[in-house]
Amino acid sequence: MKVLAADGISEQGIKLLQQDFTVDVRDKLPAEELLAIIPEYDALLVRSASKVTAEVIEKGAKLKIIGRAGVGVDNIDIPAATAKGIIVINSPGGNTIAATEHTMAMMLSLARHIPVANETTQKGEWNRKKYVGVELKGKTLGVIGMGRIGSGVAKRAQAFDMKVIAYDPYINEERAEAMHVAVGTLDDVIREADFITVHMPLTPETKGMIGLKEMQRMKKGVRLINCARGGIIDENDLATAVKEGLVAGAAIDVFTSEPIPEGHPLVGVPGIILTPHLGASTVEAQIGVSLDVAEGVKAALNGEPVATAVNMAPVSPQVMRVIAPYLTLAERLGCTVCSLAEGAIKSVEVTYSGEITEVNTGLLTTAVIKGMLNPVMENEVNYVNAPGFAKERNIKITEVKERTAESFANLITVKVKAKDKEVTVQGTLFGDEGRIVRINKFRVDVDPHARILICPHINRPGVIGTVGTIMGQANINISGMQVGKSDVEGTNLMVLSIDNDIPAEILSKVKEVDGIFDAKLVNFYAI
């Protein structure tokens, strides 16, 4: 078999593949040349320079796998590859250690004023008294997001005799106890921590999750680190908080716009350390991502499972024809229960009812898990790694099949148990369109097309109208509305289909409406 390494793959990755395959290295390959030669190859390796378009994939008659030596796969047409049964892999964990260590380096630099001390000493100054630092020992580190990197930072901080308190809605007690980490709410972390580091994905819910209001509740002298995603910490608010002495300092590696523009609010602020997105920039990480994809390509060409696939695992054409229309619905049911559950999810039960029980529904269950975890995981969750991520979090997954489906030809029921709450959501297809037909005890008919706002409320005049007015005043368009009734007299469930993001302050206004019991935004773009 032949492998084409199209741009910038490390020598170590090439050597690994050469043990079993013929490998042609063609760096900086023009698009027209790639199109001309791709029919010869069984596998293609790229970084970010080569664009693997639908046309390239169509020409690659022998292609079995495309490997991206890095995290992002924006330069690969994944739907086109999936349609042709080509596996696409990346290297989501190859830079974990690099990002973890960079976070620790930023924390130590903050604690001991290393960048400014070096700069002034190089200029001939000697400012020992001016740059007195603080020790990590005995301090409390707040970790927001306990994925691979957040967990790695927590482990290393404990080696410095730091106490670690973590906020992650989906970490359970067993895993936290095994890591010797205290688990709290976001407010607990904000109030108790001396250092706070964020390791969350950037979503509408996490964007700006640490702003001036949160900083005002923090300990005086707190220090903030962001090596995850730009925008999780509000940059303008951070500059203000450091200037006003609310925050002692910050170390930021990622920004809302990169490279940062002239006049950026964080530039030139004493006490703020800035690096140009260096989290993954180590020699070892670059080698690591190349070795990761080389291992994946080797496995795929030898007919073995590939753990880092970003598109769906192989399914027979017969089964795929039956389950394909349900995949998006399954993901969105998972996303919905994730948004409604409170606290760490302990178990997920997926029940299939009706004719769909006659085929293997394992991929649909994986889709539910993918939809549930993607909005809250720092790493991208796909059809291959979703079960592993659920296992890491000690989430029990159960699949149940019932031959008859009450009122529907086919029905998918997802029930999750969290620490203090149980949530059930049901969905089916009307034609080829997925619909959510029940949320807990409420019968609904909801098109989960973009975002939905779920509000249990008292059944009385004025409640729904008030919410609509709030949305209108905020220029948020409501494209659909459903009101579900239950057996509990006077209690209804309003579900609004929303075309725009809902800022946190608007969501708070909705929750404060007299007669509204709660308001949960489900953002399907997060999956």
Give tens-digit pLDDT for 185-224. Answer: 999 999 999 999 999 888 888 899 999 999 999 999 999 9
Check 68, 113, 175, 229 and give the catalytic one: 229
Residues paired with 226 in a beta bridge:
198, 252
- Encoded tokens for 32: 């027209």
Q: Is-catalytic flag, 332?
A: no
CB 527 within 8 A of CB 374: yes
* Nearest-angstrom CA–CA distance, 113 and 243: 16
DSSP 219-256: PTTEEEEE-S-TTSB-HHHHHHHHHTTSEEEEEE---S
| Domain range summary for the chain, segments of one domain joined by + | 2-92+285-311, 96-274, 313-440, 451-527
Q: Is-catalytic flag, 113?
A: no
Task: Identify the pLDDT of residue 374.
Answer: 84
Check 26, 112, 156, 277 and give the catalytic one: 277
Query: What's 451-527's CATH class?
Result: alpha beta
Q: What 3-state DSSP class applies to 85? A: coil
| Better-predicted residue by pLDDT, 310 or 250 | 250
The structural architecture, per CATH, of the domain 2-92+285-311 is: 3-Layer(aba) Sandwich (3.40)
Provide CB contacts within 8 A for 119, sequence distance 6+. none
Check 33, 258, 284, 355 and give the catalytic one: 258
| Better-predicted residue by pLDDT, 311 or 472 | 472
Interval 140-183: pLDDT, tens: 999 999 988 999 999 999 999 999 999 998 787 788 889 999 99
* Most confident listed range (104-108, 302-306, 442-446): 104-108
For the domain covering 313-440, report its CATH number: 3.30.1330.90
CB 370 within 8 A of CB 527: yes
CB 88 within 8 A of CB 311: yes
Angle formed at CA 245 by CA 241 and CA 248, multiple of 5 degrees: 90
Task: Identify the pLDDT of residue 312.
Answer: 64
Task: Identify the pLDDT of residue 195.
Answer: 98
Domain pair 2-92+285-311 / 313-440, same fold: no
Q: Is-catalytic flag, 258?
A: yes
Angle formed at CA 34 by CA 28 and CA 35, multiple of 5 degrees: 155
**Does residue 236 carry a pLDDT above 90?**
yes
Domain 96-274 CATH superfamily: NAD(P)-binding Rossmann-like Domain (3.40.50.720)
* Nearest-angstrom CA–CA distance, 159 and 487: 55
